[in-house]
Structure 1
Amino acid sequence: MADDSEAPGRPVPEVLDEAECLRLISPGGVGRLGYSGRYGPTVVPVNYGVHEGAIVFRTAYDSPTDEDLRTGIEDAEYRVAFEIDELRPETREGWSVLVRGSVGHVESEDERASVREAGVEPWAGGARELFLRIQPTHVTGRRISRPPTAG
């Protein structure tokens, strides 16, 4: 059986370098935060922004996310995964970026003022005044596209 993965119009996977991944996610939007919570593996959607190389998002104080991501140890940070993608189902194209790193609560007022510059506005109602920041340590991505057909 012939390999038709390179046939015209067939999807072409591409590994993205870190610079391209960061370019794709820099406008902000919605991503999925993954971590090991008190009830096991947890994945939640959050509105995010990118500020000074970090991913920033907001949640409510004393929310399950806040509680799960507090280590109880001063200056300790929790390891998380953060996934962002853009999909075009009609053409079966898109990209996906996975960021791994540590997340920390933004505690000082100076830091809070700085991360506010990311302009993150959560879609969910209610007070979401707690800022969290992910410092990326590993960034990977993939793009699926279709080459133009000869015509």
Structure 2
Amino acid sequence: MRSTQQLDRAEALRLLGTVSLGRIVFTHQALPAIRPTSHVVAGEDVLVRLDEGASRASLVATPGEPGIVLAYEADAIDPETHLGWSVVVVGYTELIADRDEAERLAALPDPWRNQPSAGVLRIRSELVTGFRLGP
């Protein structure tokens, strides 16, 4: 029998920072969409590189308007034992507008796809949840 332990915010963000790949969850053309992407945790924010493509417009708010709300999920679950953890961050997005900061941050996430970067998206964590799967 496996146990499930809820993680507090600090531990969930710490664990999220130990992996570099997760899934961004958003709405694209009025339908749910999930895309794998790399990330970096910066304080309580999650930073993801944006690739050129159709879904970029779904992730970035119109300048001058509040950012859209989306979710970001990452986990580390052993395929044999099914032990590990999962973390979900929900928050408002913000396109990093300062060119110098965007260029510096674009170099941080390790892109796993060979596509040009269309900028860096900051997810300001409003809600952070997570759980650990134990024996």
The alignment's TM-score, normalised by the length of structure 2, stands at 0.90
Note the C-alpha offset of 1:104. 1.3
Partner secondary structure for residue 74 of structure 2: strand
Q: What's the counterpart of residue 12 of structure 1?
A: 3
Contact persistence 2:70–2:92 (CA under 8 A): yes
Contact persistence 1:59–1:65 (CA under 8 A): no
Computing the radius of gyration from Cα coordinates, the structure with the larger value is 1
Contact persistence 1:47–1:122 (CA under 8 A): yes
Aligned runs of 1:103-114 on 2, under 5 Å?
103-113=93-103
1:40 aligns with 2:31: yes
Q: 1:5-32 CA distances to partner (integer Å, 9 max, x unpaired)?
A: xxxxx21111111111011011341111
Higher share in strand: 2
Q: 1:42-66 CA distances to partner (integer Å, 9 max, x unpaired)?
A: 11100001123211111234x2232
Q: Distance in 2 between matches of 1:73 and 1:49?
A: 23
CA RMSD in angstroms, aligned pairs only: 1.7
Q: What's the counterpart of residue 135 of structure 1?
A: 124
Note the C-alpha offset of 1:102. 0.7
Q: Distance in 1 between matches of 2:113 and 2:104?
A: 22
Unaligned runs of 5+ in 1: 1-9, 147-151
Q: 1:56-82 CA distances to partner (integer Å, 9 max, x unpaired)?
A: 111234x22321123324142010011
The alignment's TM-score, normalised by the length of structure 1, stands at 0.81
Runs ≥4 in structure 1, deviation > 6 angstroms? none
Identity %: 27
Partner secondary structure for residue 95 of structure 1: strand
Q: What's the counterpart of residue 58 of structure 2?
A: 68
Unaligned runs of 5+ in 2: none
> Judging changes above 3 Å, is the alpha-carbon distance between structure 1 residues 113 and 130 closer, same or farther for their aligned structure 2 residues?
closer
Contact persistence 2:61–2:94 (CA under 8 A): no
Q: Distance in 1 between matches of 2:12 and 2:103?
A: 26
User: Which of 86, 90, 100 is the matching residue for 1:96?
Assistant: 86
1:144 aligns with 2:130: no
1:56 aligns with 2:47: yes
